[in-house]
Copies of this chain bind each other. A is one copy, B any other.
């Protein structure tokens, strides 16, 4: 029984290091990866490792925040690819042995604020 928080931290270290053996070792065999923004879903460890291994570009990640409770973890990353930095938000759940069973990823993009709230906000 592995602690999910430790497993998720190992998962991100292995991704950044392109250590796909260590990466795969954090995942349940029937892991499910879901991207609600595109409606995509990847089922199974082998496919999900390939998806990450094949991801193009010289990408790097830095963990900004981890919030964890037993069996549930959220990470907020700063992800850099092609000189551009973006946020990535990932919700993890564990199987009975503490391996990563499900990952739901969100990749929010910059947008222009709607008009009508300038009297309340500062812009950075």
| Contact of A65 with B54 at beta-carbon distance under 8 Å, contacts A40-B121, A40-B123 already known | no
Contact in complex: A65, B40 (CB < 8 Å)? no
Contact of A124 among B41, B109, B122 (CB under 8 A): B41
Contact in complex: A108, B65 (CB < 8 Å)? no
A123–B74 Cα distance when bound, in Å, is: 24
A:12-64 near B, CB below 8 Å: 35-43, 47-48, 50-51, 54, 56
Contact in complex: A41, B111 (CB < 8 Å)? no
Q: Determine if A1 is an interface residue (Cβ-Cβ < 8 Å).
A: no
| Contact of A108 with B110 at beta-carbon distance under 8 Å, contacts A40-B122, A65-B91, A91-B65 already known | no
Q: Determine if A76 is an interface residue (Cβ-Cβ < 8 Å).
A: yes
Q: Determine if A84 is an interface residue (Cβ-Cβ < 8 Å).
A: no
Contact of A117 among B43, B54, B67, B121 (CB under 8 A): B54
Chain B positions within 8 Å of A65 at CB level: 72, 91
